[in-house]
Amino acid sequence: MTVAEGSQRLSQTQPRGSDLRFLHPAWLHRTNDLSSSASAFPGLKARSSRLPPRAASSLLSPAIVAAIIVALSLAVVPKAKGQEAIAPTNEELAGIAERGRLLYEYDQAAWHAADAVQLANPKAVEGQLYIAKKENGKWLVVFGKLNDDRSRFAITYQADEQATLRLFAIHQQRGEPQDQGFFLYAARAMDLALQDFGRTNRPYDVAVLPAGAEQLYVYLYPAQTQARVYPLGGDVRYLVSADGMKISEKRQMHKTIIENQPTQHAKKAVAGYHTHALSDLPEDTDVFHVLTQDTPVSEIVLTPHFSYQIKTDGTIQLEKDRKRRK
Ligand SMILES: [Zn+2]
């Protein structure tokens, strides 16, 4: 199965106009106003019951943020199995922040490059996959498709970042160069991840970033479908072999999807927060979530043992060791 077919399969269950981004004008995923339910992701259990559901992710004033951190650090925390939880090192947190920033840049690059291609020729890249890559500090985005035996990736268009991440120059690729390197591996990896992820009943975005040892990370995360509503959760990160042929690891970063409607108080908000039941770490997409907002708002992430603050520049600060505070 080619990537295009894989994505088609995903999109068949989706409402009109809500396909994966590479099947539709990119601006749709930012500006259309399809409503989607916060519990739209199939087969997922209810969110963590550590906090009342309505309060589990909100925009907060400074006083409330402080009060919540204190209250939660005093709350009964389930005992870790066996040993005490060990806080992540600064290097680990910096690694998460760096991946989150790259994911944000990737998302911006893919979005604006797709806009540029669509503007030039709306039908040109219909059903094609697009893949972004950062080279020498600039992003380039290629559009194309895997051939049937998955040995080549035919590139139809390339878009190159100009002065800013919002500006791309596009070039039609005469003769459709057949990539047998990074873009081929990335396309295979995306295809593999999409097949494993299966059907969804809402639009998803897909991104691929280089991982260590020449492996690849593939992210699947819910696409934005309403202005000023930034979905968080329901996301997975795959680690795929260097040739894009084998999934080495699947990390469910969050389970349910949270979509907070913008409120009149949003201007006063200084932080959002949500809980993690799955691990004691913040996730790459938490950083992405902060940066992708029109006006970035910091996010507090409460895990079973720790609380973190993701600042508006994407840096992660370990705020409290919840267990020791008891
Ligand atoms: Zn999170």
Centroid of ligand 1 to alpha carbon of 221 (angstroms):
12
Question: For residue 326, is it within any domain?
Answer: no
Strands (E), 204-297: 204-210, 216-222, 232-233, 236-240, 247-252, 257-258, 271-275
Ramachandran angles phi, psi of 75, nearest 5°: -70, 160
Mean pLDDT computed over 77-95? 77
Alpha helices by DSSP H, listed for 121-141, are none
Question: Domain count of the chain?
Answer: 1
By percentage, how much of the chain surpasses pLDDT 90? 63
Output the CA 151–ligand 1 centroid distance in Å.
Answer: 37
The answer to whether 153 and 145 are in contact (CB under 8 A) is yes
In a domain, 129, yes or no: yes
Ligand 1 mean position, distance from CA 117 (Å): 33
pLDDT at residue 265, as a whole number: 58
CA 175 – ligand 1 centroid, Å: 44
From CA 319, how far away is CA 239, in angstroms rounded?
A: 29
- pLDDT at position 116, please? 94
For 14-28, 92-106, 240-254, 274-288, which range has the lowest pLDDT when averaged over its residues?
A: 14-28
| Cα-to-centroid distance, 274 and ligand 1 (Å) | 6
**pLDDT tens, 261-285?**
876 655 666 789 999 998 999 999 9
**Which residues lie at CB < 5 A from ion ligand 1?**
283, 286
Ligand 1 centre distance from Cα of residue 101 (Å): 15
Query: Going along 2-161, which residue ranges are E strands?
Result: 58-60, 129-135, 138-146, 153-161
Q: Is residue 291 part of a domain?
A: yes
Encoded tokens for 224? 């934005």
Contact assessment for residue 7 and residue 194, using Cβ atoms and an 8 Å cutoff? yes
Q: 229 C-alpha to center of ligand 1: Å?
A: 16
Q: How far is the CA of 171 from the centre of ligand 1 (A)?
A: 38
Provide the whole-model pTM: 0.76
Strand partners, 143: 130, 157
Cα 303 to ligand 1 centroid, rounded to whole Å: 9
Environment class of 8 (CB within 10 Å of its CB; exposed 0-12, middle 13-18, buried 19+): middle
Residue 273 lies in a domain: yes
Give the model confidence (pLDDT) of 119-153 as tens digits: 988 888 888 999 999 999 999 999 999 999 999 99
Show the domain range for 303: 3-321
| Helical residues (DSSP H) of 147-295, grouped into ranges | 182-197, 284-292
Distance 220 CA to ligand 1 centre (A): 14
pLDDT, mean of residues 293-317: 95
> Residue 268 C-alpha to ligand 1 middle, in angstroms?
22
**Distance from the CA of 216 to the center of ligand 1, in angstroms?**
21
Q: Report the separation in Å between the CA atom of 28 and the middle of ligand 1, taken as the mean of its atom positions.
A: 25
Q: How many angstroms is it from 223 CA to the middle of ligand 1? A: 16
Residues 41, 91: Cα–Cα separation, whole Å: 33
Distance 140 CA to ligand 1 centre (A): 28
Centre of ligand 1 to C-alpha 301, Å, is 6
Q: Mean per-residue pLDDT for 12-21?
A: 31
What is the distance in A from the centroid of ligand 1 to the CA of 134?
Answer: 25
Report whether 281 contacts 96 (CB < 8 A).
yes
